[in-house]
Chain A
Amino acid sequence: MNEALVRAANIGRTYGEGESAVVALRSASCEVAPANRIAIVGPSGSGKSTLLALLGGLDQPSSGVISWPLLGAQAGLRPTKVAFVFQTPSLLAPLSVVENVELPLLLGRVGRDEARQAALAALDRLELRALADKLPEELSGGQAQRAAIARALAYRPRLILADEPTGQLDQPTARHFFDVLLAILAGSDTALVVATHDHEIAARMAEVWQMQHGTLEVPR
């Protein structure tokens, strides 16, 4: 039982109160273990992003219990153990690519030089070294998303939560992006959970969870 990175038991999330309350997630139970490759599929508004936010400790469930047996307390999850990748590149506009990548390391109080070295190494792995000093607005969509991956990988997190990371990329770019991501994670015990509409991408993951109207179906 203790080998899970994150474990959710009957968690639910409701926004608002009374008649205007919106139930985004209903009594979901799941767990993510090291090296898991999981795709969450479902239509827009089905609760995928809500589930990822709860798994990453970005949000609190309205009901149920969530825990991180191998990662520790919720407060210490980010930036060291859990990393997010969002639908859009989510790079900070006023920082250069390398500064964006080293940001989580600096937030985790890694020394300046060490952070810079790790960031450059991550950019190397994603073949972005040449763009290190560019500003996000000077990158293409695919380059920016790869930079976001570099940022997620820089700290070598135990769990990466990607919320429709290829949603704004064209098909070939999206596939290339995913190839790179899976190649880098190959052999590591970093778990990857991806929310996606793309069934082709989902098919390349070891597990596929279904979301429908806030209800999660996890195959046994």
Chain B
Amino acid sequence: MLTTLWLKGIIAYRFRRLFAALLGVALTVALLGALGAFIANASASMTARAIADVPVDWQVQLTSGANSGAVVTALGQVSHYRAVEQVDYASVNGFSANVSGTVQTTGAGKVIGLSPQYATSFPAELRLLLGSSNGVLVMQQTAANLHVSIGDHVTIARPNLPDATVTVAGIVDLPQADSLFQAVGAPAGLAPTAPPDNVLVLPRDLWHQFFDAQTAARPDTVHTQLHVRLAADLPPDPAAAYVYVQQLANNLEARLVGQVVVGNNLAARLGGVREDALYAQVLFLFLGLPGAVLAALLTLAVAAAGAEHRRREQALLRVRGASTAELLRLASVEAITLGLGGVVLGLILAYVATLSIAADANLLATTTLPWTILAAVVGLLLALFAVLYPAWQSARRSTVAGARLVVGRTGAPLWQRLYLDLALLAIAAFSFWQTASSGYQIVLAPEGVAQTAVDYTSFLAPLCLWLGVGLLTMRLWRVALTRGRALVAGLLRPIAQGLSRLVAAALGRQSPTLVRGVALVALAFSFATATAVFNTTYNTQARIDAQLTNGADVTVTGTSAAPAGPLLGQLAAQPGVAAAQPLMHRFAYVGSDLQDIYGVDPQRIGSATNVANAFFANRDAAATLALLARTPDGVLVSAETAKDFQLALGDQLSLRLQTGADRQYHAVTFHFIGVVREFPSAPKDSFLVANASYIAAQSGNPTAEIVLLRANGSAKDLAAQVRPLVGSVAGARVTDLGQTAQAISSSLTAVDLGGLTLLELTFAILLVAGASGLVLALGLAERRRTFAILTALGASDRQLGAFFWSEGLIVLLGGGIIGLALGFGLAQMLVTVLTGVFDPAPEALSVPWLYLAALALAGVVSTVVAVLSVRVFSRRAVGEALREI
């Protein structure tokens, strides 16, 4: 009976505070729930994207004597599959062709035999550039080496057998040559072998016609693979999917002991994505958890704002005979009501938030359910702690007189006496140093090892910095308000005028409540600032990453046989093109290593694409490009190449390029003038950048294979616009930035933070508004007696305002300025700690000024609204409060 009465009373008369606390619990639950859904969704989408990109899931290599039919049967028993194709490989001594009276010959090469359905089953392996796919196909580079085209004859030099001649039906690109010609079964960690430069693709029957004899004569030069596309349902988490796929492969190898070795491309890909998924998880936790902590702190602050009322009510109940157990029972009812209401509302909010990432978002799905349960449990515990702990504390004060204590000359709180703030800052510094000394390696997913590890202690640095500065803010403000009253009075004089001394004294004695508000506002501002700055930097880097991979906003990529360069004039004249630049893409031998070489106009390349300082070892793009422009035979060498070949700046390099009328590789002299780390459209590892004019002069071929376009507006629209124009060039492709960003699944920056960013920034604004407004409003409402007395004493509106606005100003400005500064510091720390997320690393933080302005506005508006509404409320309630005086 008493319980029901109590509950009704709380709902009827303490509704505002109950609702505010409920909102805090709901925000905590919603943030945690939504975070879980984001993590699960990101992992699942990374897995799906990674799988979609793998050209062939398994390359099952048959050992000599193995029966392919038996292997296919065993495969069916291990897993469902969508396609299986037999691929035969033969190594040959070389190819030759007699075209227009001159004979071209190549070094050793490979001939593979494919069935007619292969291209349909594994479309990513072959790209027809010219001619027909029915018949003998020549790889593009081989065709260039041999100067052959459709209808020409190519002679195959078979080991220990007479030469065989075939007729070219088509020219193809083998985009996945690395994996197609991988050494299956090579020990992990062994450097991958370069794919062959010379390849012929034969229809399977023809291959057997030519190479069955070679199989018999030289079995060491021939092998057979089964290319498999699996149909198994993989776990959504990349790490679990990796383990599952690895186990399937192990199972097949165990069933067919000694007969097969599985080249597990799918596991290799998932293995790479595992690390990114873990980084994504870390990233989400880094960015999201402080929000949940803040919402919890806000809930506790709201609950604490009603502590005076609670103390008085409990003292009265005690006077009327209530025992401590009864008091706690009543508080439990309130806590459970608060908890259940908060959890339900929070889960609804989380559901709405997750809908923004996927229409079929489900908080009860297997992967998200643990998060949902965790969020609900945290919400309930938070409600219990927020209500029961203060109730238990005040229940220990047994008298009404004791309950009337409202300010008191209280000593410093325990954390302050224990210097917890300084201890947290020391932990932050130590943790940061430790993470830095490990090279910011916070995620470990070693290749070929099933176990993965995340160094969660790296969380400590930003978390301890955040909480430490929050507590230090409280300490400093407490000192300022209690011991620096003259200073505070001076600062408040413009608002409080003649009352500034009294206002400063009153604020000093209310410092425990006030500094709590200041610290909360500081933490809320810092959370919002750090999140916004980090996310903006992340998105900027994602764009740079995409631009690096794609080359520019829009890239038209031709081939050596069909370059895009001749279209330059037409492309540059297209509306929506801000700048167009040609980019040569050739190959050059550095020693025996064939590498990509890019020819640029160093003075103009920057007009069509972004060339960042971070691309160069000296971190100065302008100086490096200027040096290249001044050095016609200069070459920029990738860091890996410089290291592998022990090159020193100024060294003369002799590279072999295709030059002269014979289109053979001849030595060309360059000078090594700088180290390049990244370059638009270049691969990540080994490549070279030189002057296009020099390459053109030396090779006798001035035509650029690629054209880079900078878009005035939408890159996607521009790409669509130029596609018909490029259609006339066989084999040329048009790609835009967005398309590339979608495709880079091996890079973490491909994880779309959009949904999380929107969610976090919305929450951050709510938390800032809540911290600066709600706590103030509730605190002031609690002290309406003070304002009733002031009114009765004859305080004018302006004088009343002195008390209201002084408090509001200290909470907002005191917390806001520290929070903004802390936010920038945290963002910098996050960017440093999460270096592994970025490729390339950002040169500086990207600052979302508009959002920060909106944030400051939210703080100001909520403070103004809080103060004004409390003033209105206090004025309206003066009569009532006077009767209570």
Interface residues in chain A, defined as those with a beta carbon under 8 Å from any beta carbon in chain B = 49, 53, 56, 58-59, 77-80, 82-84, 86-88, 90-96, 99, 102-104, 106-109, 111-112, 135, 137, 151
Measured between beta carbons, the chain B residues less than 8 angstroms from A80 are 794
Q: Which residue of B lies closest to A77 (CB)?
A: B794
Per-position binary interface string of chain B over residues 874-885, scored 1 when its CB falls under 8 Å from any chain A CB and 0 otherwise: 000011001101
Task: Tell me the smallest distance from the CB of A40 to a CB of chain B, in Å.
Answer: 16
Which partner residue on chain A sits nearest B883 by CB separation?
A49
- Asked if A93 and B794 sit within 8 Å, CB to CB, the answer is no
Minimum Cβ distance to chain A for residue B524 (Å)? 25
- Segment among B131-139, B403-411, B821-829 that sits at the interface with chain A: B403-411
Q: Tell me whether chain A's interface is mostly helix, strand or loop, or mixed.
A: loop
Is residue B312 contacting chain A, with contact meaning CB distance below 8 A? no
Report A-chain residues with C-beta under 8 Å of the C-beta of B405: 137
**B505 touches which of A88, A94, A104 (Cβ 8 Å):** A94
Interface centre among B409, B498, B508, B510 (most CB of A within 10 A): B498
B786:A93 contact, CB within 8 angstroms? yes
Contact of A90 among B501, B505, B789, B795 (CB under 8 A): B789
In the complex, what's the smallest C-beta–C-beta distance from B680 to chain A, in angstroms? Answer: 64
Contact of A86 among B406, B791, B885 (CB under 8 A): B885
Say yes or no: is B325 at the interface (Cβ < 8 Å to chain A). Answer: no
Considering the chains assembled together, what is the distance between the CA atoms of A106 and B406 in angstroms? 24
Query: Taking A58-B882, A99-B505, A112-B498 as contacts, is the C-beta distance between A104 and B793 under 8 angstroms?
Result: yes
Are B406 and A84 in contact (CB-based, < 8 A)?
no
B residues near A (Cβ < 8 Å) are 404-409, 498-499, 501-502, 505-510, 786, 789-796, 799, 878-879, 882-883, 885
CB distance from A65 to the nearest CB of B (A): 20
* Nearest 5 A/B pairs, CB to CB: A78-B794, A79-B794, A94-B509, A94-B506, A86-B885
What residues of chain A lie closer than 8 Å to B404, measured between beta carbons? 137
Q: Which residues of A contact B502 (CB under 8 A)?
A: 95, 99, 102-103, 106
B885 & A87 in contact (Cβ 8 Å cutoff): yes
A-B contacts, 23 listed (Cβ < 8 Å): A53-B879, A53-B882, A79-B794, A80-B794, A82-B794, A90-B789, A92-B506, A92-B790, A93-B406, A94-B407, A94-B508, A94-B786, A95-B509, A103-B793, A104-B793, A106-B498, A107-B499, A107-B795, A109-B498, A111-B498, A135-B409, A135-B509, A151-B793
Whether the Cβ atoms of B792 and A58 lie closer than 8 Å is yes
Q: Which single residue of chain B is at the shortest CB-CB distance from A87?
A: B885
Residue of B with least CB distance to A59:
B879
- A84 with B792: CB separation less than 8 A: yes
**In whole Å, how far is B486's beta carbon from the nearest beta carbon of chain A?**
12
Nearest Cβ distance between residue A201 and chain B, in whole angstroms? 20
Give the CA-CA distance A90 to B786 in the complex, in Å. 8
* Contact between A78 and B406, CB atoms less than 8 A apart: no
Q: Pick from A82, A90, A94, A104: contact of B885, CB below 8 A.
A: A90
Measured CA separation A95–B509 after assembly (Å): 8
Query: Does the CB pair A108–B505 fall under 8 Å?
Result: no
Name the prevailing secondary structure of the B interface residues: helix
> What chain A residues lie within 8 Å of B878 (beta carbons)?
58
For B879, list chain A residues within 8 Å (CB): 53, 58-59
Contacts of A88 in B (CB 8 A): 885
Most buried by B among A82, A83, A84, A91: A84
Nearest residue, chain B, Cβ from A107: B795
Contacts of B796 in A (CB 8 A): 107
- Among A56, A90, A102, chain B packs the most CB atoms within 10 A around the CB of A90
Query: Judging by beta carbons under 8 Å apart, are B510 and A94 in contact?
Result: yes
B497's nearest neighbour on chain A, judged by CB, is A109
Question: In the complex, what residues of B have CB within 8 A of residue A94's CB?
Answer: 407, 505-510, 786
B555 to chain A, nearest CB (A): 68
* Chain B residues closer than 8 Å to A87, beta-carbon distance: 885
A95 to B503 alpha-carbon distance, docked (Å): 9
Contact B506 A104 (CB under 8 A): no
Across the interface, A135 reaches (CB within 8 A) one of B407, B498, B792, B885, namely B407
Contacts of A102 in B (CB 8 A): 502
Q: Nearest chain-B residue to A15 (Cβ)?
A: B879
* Contact A58 B791, CB 8 Å, known A95-B506, A137-B406: yes
Question: What residue of chain A has the Cβ atom nearest to residue B405's Cβ?
Answer: A137
Query: Which residues from B are CB-within-8-Å of A84?
Result: 792-793
Does the CB pair B792–A78 fall under 8 Å?
yes
Contact B793 A78, beta carbon cutoff 8 Å: yes
User: How far does the alpha carbon of A99 sit from the alpha carbon of B790 in the complex, in Å?
Assistant: 13
Q: Are B794 and A108 within 8 A (Cβ)?
A: yes
What 16 new A-B contacts, CB under 8 Å, besides A112-B501, A135-B409? Answer: A49-B882, A59-B879, A80-B794, A86-B882, A88-B885, A90-B792, A90-B885, A93-B509, A94-B506, A94-B508, A103-B502, A107-B499, A107-B796, A108-B794, A112-B498, A135-B408
The residues of A that contact B498 with a CB separation of less than 8 Å are 106, 109, 111-112
A95 and B508 alpha carbons, distance in the complex (Å): 10
Q: How far is the CB of A48 from chain B (nearest CB, A)?
A: 11
- Contact partners of A53 in chain B: CB under 8 A: 879, 882
**Shortest distance from the beta carbon of B227 to any chain A beta carbon, whole Å:** 80
Contacts A49-B883, A53-B882, A58-B882; is A93 near B407 (CB within 8 Å)? yes
Rounded to whole angstroms, the CA-CA distance of A79 and B498 in the bound complex is 15
Q: Most chain-B CB neighbours within 10 Å: which of A92, A111, A112?
A: A92
Residue of A whose beta carbon sits closest to that of B506: A94
Whole-angstrom distance between the Cβ of B529 and the nearest chain A Cβ:
32
Tell whether, in the assembled complex, residue A92 and residue B786 are in contact, meaning their CB atoms are under 8 Å apart.
yes
Contact A107 B794 (CB under 8 A): yes
B816 to chain A, nearest CB (A): 24
In the complex, A56→B794 CA distance in Å?
A: 10
* Cβ 8 A contact of B408, one of A77, A92, A95, A137: A137
- List, in ascending order, chain A residues with CB within 8 A of B508's CB: 94
* Chain A positions within 8 Å of B506 at CB level: 92, 94-95
Query: Looking across the interface, which residue of chain A has its beta carbon closest to that of B799?
Result: A107
Contact for B793 among A59, A79, A99, A109, CB less than 8 A: A79
Among B502, B508, B794, B795, find the residue whose CB has the most chain A CB atoms closer than 10 A. B794
Given contacts A58-B882, A92-B506, whether A137 and B792 have CB atoms under 8 Å apart is: no
Nearest Cβ in chain A — how far from B495, in angstroms? 15
Residues on the B chain within 8 Å of A135, using CB: 407-409, 509
